[in-house]
């Protein structure tokens, strides 16, 4: 993984005498103590990270944790007090005003929590804004802007004014404005936090879908752990100006370094209340051991999963197999000829968190009924998707309804 | 007798002012006379245009402006007002007043908006400017007239100069205010996309300050209207002179129609410039005007 964006030992101190505060912070004094001893606020304290090409890197923390300050340090809307920031290996902090403008115009774009659209410009003129600033000819920038609007699904609204748009649409415009610049790096400062839950989930999915095409390096700021888990390749949990843990969503949920992080993870698992049988859709295919290879391949393809659970003639899970192996084994005619790995199984009534733990290591888990027959199979992706969807559907608490109809649907 | 400050201890501020004005008159008179030139030229130009038009053309133009800016009722009001002025025999005076207003307000915009922009960007400049504006706005309008006469002489052009000074503060204040209330996140967005100071001013600050600037324009216009009457005392022509003549001759009728013409002119222009405020306000923020606008802007109105 090549580092597109690299931050090294970044500090940001607010106050009149940052030097003393910086010295203390470097010695490892906690920002809270620095505040009480010097009156200076250390908003970002010794933060280092790298973000790779096409990676979504989320900085998650509660308000006041310094995440918004940190993201503004990355394009120098705020000047870091110390440290270095590199884009494509180029030092950002040494650049003069003109060079910095050039970076902002071409390499790094930003999406804001409150959209920050210009109310006196039409939607398409707003999207053109960055291109206009860098002096592109009118015709060309209009075309680019219309393409960007198409990407976010707002072509029909090009000539309206932002005030005619709903919050979710405004943020799509904000996103289009950033995309129109065709930057390498997108900074997204709590872009969906001002939206209501349904719209937020919509936009999250839209972003994920878009990211599959555009493959930008995205630094995403949020205070919402669900959002972080759903979107990120890696998450950094931030508290009091420092990163307390950086890792994949999986790592953070399963191996939180301290209570603070675990609290977020617990927040996520209402999962303790949810049962394995609740997961829907169960997308890992069940393949009968006597199925022919072509059918099995088709099933995998349709489910878009890298693995499947193999079940015996009595419906009991025998193991799981990887799609890759199935593809390579051209001469095998029956599933029974292929290598199989042991598969874990869980009852429909098992707690979801246990199920998720069992999913560790990219393996699917078979969901079995009392007779031991597989009714479906899930993997970590299914569980996470279900959790985030579930949180969106019922913010007040999980539904406990699961019964035969759902099991049937899974079959 | 109460104790008073002895004569020899009195501060002779009056002499100080007298001395300062004398100095300016003696040493700087050519400079002040030169300032008359652009104002005189513009005044002549505007008067020329207004006088060259048949009165009914002006009536129709104001009716159209009133209709487009404030709705058909106001269009009708403007038509009736201007026609009434014409039929009261005050047309030439009214057109002179209008020319004075247009000239004075134009100069207020040309000088006041840039000053307001600088003030909006620099706290220091604003703190220097603010007391000066207070002085300009609170000094009784008669007090202007003496130094203006001494520096610029008497007549319509010095009258316009007095009007410019008197009417300028609101547009400076409201330009400054408008610039300062531009939302920080919008400015931040500009910065994040690599806007220069100038780009940010032209693309973000000024357009978002425009409604406020237009309120300033409206206020400046009304103040200029007030002053355009007072300047009759230093020999400026127009409706003010009609009123003054009526008062001088104890002709209540003449003073009355002069006053009426001024009021009609004031209401017509006030509502039209209020329309500018509405036009420059982004659509979502003008729901108050919405039903009215949609009725009158849908047919053939240029999409703005």
The pLDDT > 90 percentage for chain A reads 31
Residue B265 has pLDDT above 50, yes or no: yes
Q: From the list A101, A118, A163, which residue is nearest B204 (CB)? A: A118
Q: Is the pTM of this model over 0.80?
A: no
What is the rounded average pLDDT of the residues A69-94? 91
Q: What is the pLDDT of residues B206-247, one digit of tens each?
A: 999 999 999 999 999 999 999 988 999 998 999 999 999 999
Predicted confidence at residue B287, as pLDDT, reads 46
Q: What is the pLDDT of residues A382-395, one digit of tens each?
A: 877 777 765 554 44
- CA A106 vs CA A148, A179, A210, B170: distances in Å: 15, 11, 20, 41
Predicted confidence at residue A404, as pLDDT, reads 36
Quick one: pLDDT band at residue A399, thresholds 50, 70, 90?
very low
What structural domains does chain A harbor?
A: 3-107+183-268 (3.40.50.300), 276-410 (3.10.580.10)
Residue B15 has pLDDT above 80, yes or no: yes
What is the rounded average pLDDT of the residues B15-34? 85
- Three-state DSSP state, B1: coil
Predicted confidence at residue B60, as pLDDT, reads 93
Q: What is the mean pLDDT of chain B?
A: 87
Predicted confidence at residue A267, as pLDDT, reads 67
Quick one: pLDDT band at residue B14, thresholds 50, 70, 90?
confident
Of the candidate ranges A33-42, A320-329, B178-187, the one whose mean pLDDT is the lowest: A320-329
Residue of A nearest to B189 (CA): A116
Quick one: pLDDT band at residue B75, thresholds 50, 70, 90?
very high
Residue A278 has pLDDT above 80, yes or no: no
Residue of A96, A115, A118 to mutate, interface with B, max B Cβ within 10 Å: A118
Predicted confidence at residue B294, as pLDDT, reads 41
Predicted confidence at residue B302, as pLDDT, reads 34
Predicted confidence at residue A333, as pLDDT, reads 66
CATH architecture of B36-297: Orthogonal Bundle (1.10)
* The two three-digit tokens of residue B299, written as one number: 């047919």
Residue A194 has pLDDT above 50, yes or no: yes
Residue of A103, A119, A124, A185 to mutate, interface with B, max B Cβ within 10 Å: A119
Q: How far is A79 from chain B (nearest CA, A)?
A: 13
> How does DSSP assign B133-164, residue by residue?
HHHHHHS-HHHHHHHHHHHH-SSHHHHHHHHH
Quick one: pLDDT band at residue A280, thresholds 50, 70, 90?
low
Residues contacting B197, CB < 8 A, separation 6+: none
Predicted confidence at residue B290, as pLDDT, reads 42
Residue A237 has pLDDT above 90, yes or no: yes
Tell me how far apart the alpha carbons of residues A14 and A38 are, in angstroms, rounded to a whole number. 11
Residue A369 has pLDDT above 70, yes or no: yes
The pLDDT > 90 percentage for chain B reads 63
Residue B259 has pLDDT above 80, yes or no: yes
Predicted confidence at residue A391, as pLDDT, reads 57
What is the rounded average pLDDT of the residues A246-275? 75
Quick one: pLDDT band at residue B34, thresholds 50, 70, 90?
confident
Q: What is the domain partition of chain B in residue ranges? A: 36-297
Q: How far is A155 from chain B (nearest CA, A)?
A: 19
Predicted confidence at residue A19, as pLDDT, reads 84
Opening angle at CA A304, ends A296 and A232, nearest 5: 150
Residue A230 has pLDDT above 90, yes or no: no
Q: Which of A132, A105, A107 is nearest to A118 (CA)?
A: A132
DSSP B174: H
Q: Is B56 on the interface with A (CB under 8 A)?
A: no
Residues contacting A323, CB < 8 A, separation 6+: A297, A300, A305, A306, A307, A308
Question: Edge-to-edge, what's the strand order for the sheet holding A307-311?
Answer: A286-288, A307-311, A317-322
Tell me how far apart the alpha carbons of residues A6 and A47 are, in angstroms, rounded to a whole number. 10
How big, in percent rounded to 5, are the helix, strand and coil portions of chain B? 85, 0, 15
Predicted confidence at residue A390, as pLDDT, reads 58
Question: Please, is B198 exposed, middle or buried when counting C-beta atoms within 10 Å of its C-beta (0-12, 13-18, 19+)?
Answer: exposed
Q: What is the pLDDT of residues B101-117, one digit of tens each?
A: 999 999 999 999 999 99
Q: Are A346 and A368 in contact (CB under 8 A)?
A: yes
Predicted confidence at residue B285, as pLDDT, reads 54
Predicted confidence at residue A268, as pLDDT, reads 66
Residue B175 has pLDDT above 50, yes or no: yes
Q: Which residues of A touch B192 (CB under 8 A)?
A: 75, 77, 104, 109-110, 112, 187
A&B contacts, CB < 8 Å: 75
Residue A408 has pLDDT above 70, yes or no: no
CB contact under 8 A, A161 and B204: no
Q: Which residues of A touch B196 (CB under 8 A)?
A: 101
Q: What is the pLDDT of residues A204-219, one digit of tens each?
A: 988 988 998 888 999 9
Q: Is B188 on the interface with A (CB under 8 A)?
A: yes
Q: Is B182 on the interface with A (CB under 8 A)?
A: no
Residue A181 has pLDDT above 50, yes or no: yes
CB contact under 8 A, B188 and A109: no
Predicted confidence at residue A332, as pLDDT, reads 66
Residues contacting A204, CB < 8 A, separation 6+: A192, A227, A230, A231, A388
Residue of B183, B190, B192 to mutate, interface with A, max A Cβ within 10 Å: B192
* The two three-digit tokens of residue A151, written as one number: 């990407």
B300 vs A355 pLDDT, higher one: A355
């Amino acid at each position: 993984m090549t580092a597109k964006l690299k931050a090294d030992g970044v500090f940001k101190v607010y106050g009149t005498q940052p030097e003393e505060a910086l010295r203390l912070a470097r010695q490892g004094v906690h920002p809270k103590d620095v505040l009480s001893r010097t009156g200076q606020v250390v908003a970002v304290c010794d933060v280092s990270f790298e973000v790779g090409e096409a990676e979504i890197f989320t900085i998650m923390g509660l308000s006041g944790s310094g995440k918004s300050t940190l993201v503004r340090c990355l394009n120098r809307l705020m000047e870091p007090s110390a440290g270095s920031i590199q884009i494509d290996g180029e030092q950002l902090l040494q650049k003069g005003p003109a060079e910095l403008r050039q970076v902002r115009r071409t390499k790094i774009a930003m999406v804001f929590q409150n959209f920050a659209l210009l109310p006196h410009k039409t939607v398409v003129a707003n999207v053109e804004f960055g291109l206009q600033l860098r002096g592109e000819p009118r015709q060309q920038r209009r075309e680019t802007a219309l393409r960007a609007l198409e990407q976010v699904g707002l072509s029909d609204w090009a000539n309206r004014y932002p005030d005619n748009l709903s919050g979710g649409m405004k943020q799509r415009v904000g996103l289009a404005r950033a995309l129109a610049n065709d930057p390498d790096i997108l900074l997204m400062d709590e872009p969906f936090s001002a939206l209501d839950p349904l719209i937020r989930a919509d936009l999250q999915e839209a972003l994920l879908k878009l990211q599959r095409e555009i493959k930008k390096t995205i630094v995403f700021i949020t205070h919402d752990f669900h959002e972080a888990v759903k979107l990120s390749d890696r998450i950094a949990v931030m508290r009091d100006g420092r990163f307390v843990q950086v890792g994949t969503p999986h790592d953070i949920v399963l191996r939180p370094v301290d209570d603070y992080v675990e609290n977020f993870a617990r927040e996520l698992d209402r999962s303790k209340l949810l049962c394995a049988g609740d997961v829907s859709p169960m997308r890992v295919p069940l393949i009968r051991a006597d199925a022919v290879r072509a059918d099995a391949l088709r099933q995998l393809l349709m489910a878009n999963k890298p693995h499947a659970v193999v079940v015996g003639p009595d419906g009991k899970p025998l193991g799981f197999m990887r799609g890759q192996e199935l593809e390579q084994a051209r001469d095998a005619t029956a599933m029974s000829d292929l290598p199989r790995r042991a598969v874990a199984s869980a009852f429909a009534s098992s707690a979801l968190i246990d199920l998720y733990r069992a999913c560790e290591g990219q393996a699917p888990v078979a969901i079995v009924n009392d007779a031991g027959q597989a009714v479906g199979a899930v993997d970590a992706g299914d569980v996470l998707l279900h959790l985030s969807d579930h949180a969106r559907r019922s913010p007040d608490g999980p539904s406990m309804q699961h019964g035969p109809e759902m099991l049937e649907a899974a079959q | 007798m109460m104790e008073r400050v002895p004569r020899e201890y009195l501060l002779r501020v009056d002499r100080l002012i007298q001395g300062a004005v004398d100095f300016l008159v003696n040493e700087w008179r050519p400079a002040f006379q030169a300032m008359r030139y652009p104002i005189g030229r513009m005044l002549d130009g505007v008067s020329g245009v207004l006088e060259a038009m048949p009165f009914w053309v002006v009536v129709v133009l104001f009716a159209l402006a009133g209709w487009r800016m404030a709705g058909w009722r106001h269009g009708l009001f403007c038509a009736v007002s201007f026609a009434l002025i014409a039929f009261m025999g005050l047309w030439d005076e009214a057109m002179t007043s209008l020319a004075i207003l247009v000239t004075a307000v134009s100069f207020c915009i040309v000088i006041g908006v840039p000053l307001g922009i600088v003030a909006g960007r620099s706290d220091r400049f604003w703190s220097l400017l603010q007391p000066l504006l207070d002085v300009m706005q609170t000094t009784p309008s008669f007090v202007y007239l003496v130094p203006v006469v001494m520096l610029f002489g008497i007549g319509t052009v010095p009258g316009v100069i007095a009007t410019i000074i008197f009417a300028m503060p609101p547009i400076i204040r409201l330009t400054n205010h408008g610039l300062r209330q531009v939302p920080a996140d919008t400015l931040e967005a500009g910065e994040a996309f690599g806007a220069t100071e100038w780009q940010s001013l032209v693309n973000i600050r000024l357009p978002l300050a425009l409604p406020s600037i237009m309120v300033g324009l409206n206020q400046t216009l009304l103040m200029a209207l007030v002053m355009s009457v007072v300047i009759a005392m230093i020999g400026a022509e127009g409706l003010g002179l009609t009123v003054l003549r009526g008062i001088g001759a104890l002709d209540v009728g003449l003073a009355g129609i002069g006053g009426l013409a001024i009021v009609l002119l004031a209401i017509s222009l006030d509502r039209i410039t209020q329309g500018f405020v509405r036009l420059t306000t982004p659509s979502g923020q003008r729901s108050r005007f919405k039903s009215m606008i949609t009725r009158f802007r849908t047919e053939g109105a240029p999409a703005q």
